[in-house]
Chain A
Amino acid sequence: MCLWLGLDNSAGQAPNEGGKPDKNQWYTLALKYAKHYAGKVEVLPKVPITGLKDFSYWYTPGVAAVSMEISKNKDLSFELTGRWNTIAVVGDGSRVLGLGNIGGEAALPVLEGKALIFKYLGGVNAVPIPLGTQDAAKIKQTVMALEPAFGGINLEDIESPKCFQILDDLRSSMNIPVWHDDQQGTAGASLAALINALKLTDRRLADTVIVLFGSGAANLATARLLIAAGADLGKLVLVDSKGVLHAEREDMDELMLKHPLKYELGIKTNKIGVRGGVEEALKGADVLIAASKPGPGVIKKEWVSKMNNDSIVFALANPTPEIWPWELREAGARIIATGRSDFPNQVNNSLVFPAVFRGALDSRCRTITDSVVIAAAKELAAFAEEKGLRDDYIIPTMEEWEVYPRVAAAVASKVVEEGLARRNLTKRQFYEQAQMIISKSRFIVERSMEMGYIEPLPGDD
């Protein structure tokens, strides 16, 4: 799933007055700015330097003492270096946004953008690392070899189905958290929104019939997370381009060999015996989570109208949802969410990943389990609930930036509870730390802009 920020009026430079720019205008601006700034993030010193003699402790000979300490206890690298707050944003360019397989170099602008968001919303130092290989074994080997440098790994835009095995293998073999945002970020945001949508419609997750339309990384990860969160496997119905997935579908053996996760879900889900396509699947269903292909027109109003009363529909395709929100409303859907910032209820992984990594890094986490993702989703949901749930407010917006330290603290506390932390603080302390780091990060950007170190956006030529 592609990341759709669509922040309105970024830096007050709306390119056309009175309306949002269309895709082509975004393209023009992005190219122009890329040329102007030549990169979106950079490495800056964070220690005082008054003269070259200072390098005697920042570098040789003094630094040898620090190295010797770490050589005796590798975990000291989290205390004595910047490892604790540094992650790699790794991609192989095999599935970049909606552009498909465009290779490592071409993936770099996206990874840089991701690094920028990590820093701005989560205070995380993220290093973009596009790889020169698309071979699963080599990707795994390379990422594993990066472990000493980083406190975490964010995998990005790696194609399905290889992304599942890569994530699972790296998660089990590395001692730092490995996260694939296209899977877990989107799944976490969907779960958060669903928790509140179920509350508003007086449903229990375990009794709810959920149709997942589209079986890319996002929805398969959502299926996995929903199961971990207590959804009834038998009441989950996955639908892909070949129709409803079920244990007897003709291509199950092919899936067994080529897509083990989907095969597994094919065997275990849909015990309610749904057959056919998405239309059949939606008859009487409570929830539809679509992450398939850009609409409109991918999902038809008539199908949605056959869903249960008070139906919940997330149409998450970007840049245009599978069906427009107003069409969903006309079809009788009660709670509607999309991936877009210009409609209510934006289900966006950007609400999840900066906070999850903030919390994971502050607790010096060893791995991010599904329970940690669920804790993040629950905190996101709780935040919205405290503000007052409405059919058009089931998940916080990205502008509500207080949500990030809240979710970070929930994540860090869960990590401690699960025994996966290298550093134990109270939830309150984690919250304060997260808030301090994130505020500082935003403050530095603001000050750098005031001081002209970060130049204002170039005007029209």
Chain B
Amino acid sequence: MIRVADESKGFRIRAATRGDMEQIVKLILRLKKLNEEFDPLLKVSDDASVDAEKTCREALETRKDSYVVLVAEDKGRIIGVIIAELRRRPFYEPRVSGVITDFYVMPEHRRKKLGESLVRKASEELKKKGAGVIMAEFPFQNKIASSFYQKLGFRAVVGIFGKEE
């Protein structure tokens, strides 16, 4: 369990619990709406909230050993979330990666290194769970995300291209 208190910045980062689910779902939906801005193939579906709940339940309950879910909290409210999944990497070394799939910080709390703290803490936790490499998934056109990760030392490794049929 991690408990990082950073009172000076007015937030703390901790592992998510089941009680956080409702607030996490809201942040995931905001993230997906943001993704929608980058590509029509990322159009958010009508039942996206069901999917968000499903993801949460899986990450916090049914398959929690394969996930790391951290939240940033400010005065009892969740202002940021990071969800990462441990995945096997057939054919390649290292064999296990920790993949950041959902990562969102509320607008008001950006530019305070909160995102950076979340990624670092999540990376530590993923390493403890066996990840030999940390990956992050985000829309190709999201330049803000790409420059954010590059600043933290990440580089583009694989790309996924798409085309409507």
Q: State yes or no: do A and B come from one complex.
A: yes
Where the two chains meet, the residues of A that have a C-beta atom closer than 8 Å to any C-beta of B are 247-248, 250, 252-254, 256-258, 263, 266-267
Contact of B108 among A254, A258, A267 (CB under 8 A): A267
Q: Evaluate contact between B33 and A250: CB separation under 8 angstroms.
A: yes
Query: Secondary structure at chain A's binding surface: helix, strand, loop or mixed?
Result: helix
Q: Evaluate contact between B34 and A248: CB separation under 8 angstroms.
A: no
Interface residues on B, range: under 10
Inside 8 A of A258's CB, which chain B residues have their CB? Answer: 37
Q: CA–CA, A266 to B30, complex, Å?
A: 16
Q: CA–CA, A252 to B34, complex, Å?
A: 9
- Distance between B106 CB and nearest chain A CB, rounded to angstroms: 7
Q: CA–CA, A263 to B30, complex, Å?
A: 15
Q: Evaluate contact between B34 and A253: CB separation under 8 angstroms.
A: yes
Q: Evaluate contact between B107 and A256: CB separation under 8 angstroms.
A: yes
Q: Evaluate contact between A254 and B30: CB separation under 8 angstroms.
A: no
Q: CA–CA, A90 to B33, complex, Å?
A: 37
- Distance between A269 CB and nearest chain B CB, rounded to angstroms: 11
Inside 8 A of B34's CB, which chain A residues have their CB? Answer: 253-254
Q: Evaluate contact between A253 and B30: CB separation under 8 angstroms.
A: yes
With CB as the reference atom, state the residue of chain A lying closest to B104. Answer: A253
Inside 8 A of B30's CB, which chain A residues have their CB? Answer: 250, 253
Q: CA–CA, A267 to B108, complex, Å?
A: 5
Q: Evaluate contact between B106 and A248: CB separation under 8 angstroms.
A: yes
Inside 8 A of A248's CB, which chain B residues have their CB? Answer: 106-108
Q: Evaluate contact between B108 and A247: CB separation under 8 angstroms.
A: yes
Q: Evaluate contact between A253 and B108: CB separation under 8 angstroms.
A: no
Q: Evaluate contact between A252 and B37: CB separation under 8 angstroms.
A: no
Q: CA–CA, A252 to B37, complex, Å?
A: 12
Q: CA–CA, A247 to B111, complex, Å?
A: 14
Interface residues of B in 22-43 (CB under 8 A from A): 30, 33-34, 37
Can you list 22 A-B pairs with a CB-CB distance of less than 8 A? A247-B106, A247-B108, A248-B106, A248-B107, A248-B108, A250-B30, A252-B107, A253-B30, A253-B33, A253-B34, A253-B107, A254-B33, A254-B34, A254-B37, A256-B107, A256-B144, A257-B37, A258-B37, A263-B107, A266-B107, A267-B107, A267-B110
- Distance between A281 CB and nearest chain B CB, rounded to angstroms: 19
Inside 8 A of A252's CB, which chain B residues have their CB? Answer: 107
With CB as the reference atom, state the residue of chain A lying closest to B31. Answer: A253
Q: CA–CA, A252 to B106, complex, Å?
A: 9
Q: CA–CA, A248 to B34, complex, Å?
A: 13
- Distance between A251 CB and nearest chain B CB, rounded to angstroms: 8
Inside 8 A of A263's CB, which chain B residues have their CB? Answer: 107
Inside 8 A of A256's CB, which chain B residues have their CB? Answer: 107, 144
- Distance between B24 CB and nearest chain A CB, rounded to angstroms: 15
- Distance between B89 CB and nearest chain A CB, rounded to angstroms: 31
Inside 8 A of B106's CB, which chain A residues have their CB? Answer: 247-248
Q: CA–CA, A256 to B107, complex, Å?
A: 9
Inside 8 A of A253's CB, which chain B residues have their CB? Answer: 30, 33-34, 37, 107
Mask: chain B, 125-157; 1 = CB below 8 Å from A; 0 = not: 000000000000000000010000000000000
Inside 8 A of A254's CB, which chain B residues have their CB? Answer: 33-34, 37
Q: CA–CA, A267 to B144, complex, Å?
A: 17
- Distance between A23 CB and nearest chain B CB, rounded to angstroms: 40
Q: CA–CA, A252 to B33, complex, Å?
A: 10
- Distance between B141 CB and nearest chain A CB, rounded to angstroms: 10
Inside 8 A of A266's CB, which chain B residues have their CB? Answer: 107
- Distance between B95 CB and nearest chain A CB, rounded to angstroms: 35
Q: CA–CA, A257 to B107, complex, Å?
A: 12
Q: CA–CA, A252 to B144, complex, Å?
A: 15
List of 4 A-B pairs having minimum Cβ-Cβ separation, nearest first = A247-B108, A253-B34, A252-B107, A247-B107
With CB as the reference atom, state the residue of chain B lying closest to A247. Answer: B108
Q: CA–CA, A19 to B106, complex, Å?
A: 56
Q: CA–CA, A266 to B34, complex, Å?
A: 16
Q: CA–CA, A256 to B37, complex, Å?
A: 11
- List 8 additional A-B contacts (Cβ < 8 Å) besides A250-B33, A253-B30, A253-B37: A247-B107, A248-B107, A254-B37, A256-B107, A263-B107, A266-B107, A267-B107, A267-B110
Among A248, A250, A254, A266: residue with most chain B CB under 10 A: A248
Q: CA–CA, A319 to B45, complex, Å?
A: 43
Inside 8 A of B110's CB, which chain A residues have their CB? Answer: 267
Q: CA–CA, A100 to B60, complex, Å?
A: 51
With CB as the reference atom, state the residue of chain A lying closest to B29. Answer: A250
- Distance between B25 CB and nearest chain A CB, rounded to angstroms: 14
- Distance between B134 CB and nearest chain A CB, rounded to angstroms: 24
- Distance between A400 CB and nearest chain B CB, rounded to angstroms: 45
- Distance between B111 CB and nearest chain A CB, rounded to angstroms: 9
- Distance between B21 CB and nearest chain A CB, rounded to angstroms: 19
Q: CA–CA, A429 to B148, complex, Å?
A: 53
- Distance between A213 CB and nearest chain B CB, rounded to angstroms: 22
With CB as the reference atom, state the residue of chain B lying closest to A253. Answer: B34
Q: CA–CA, A355 to B33, complex, Å?
A: 46
Interface residues of B in 79-121 (CB under 8 A from A): 106-108, 110
Q: CA–CA, A258 to B144, complex, Å?
A: 13
Q: CA–CA, A254 to B106, complex, Å?
A: 13
- Distance between B76 CB and nearest chain A CB, rounded to angstroms: 15
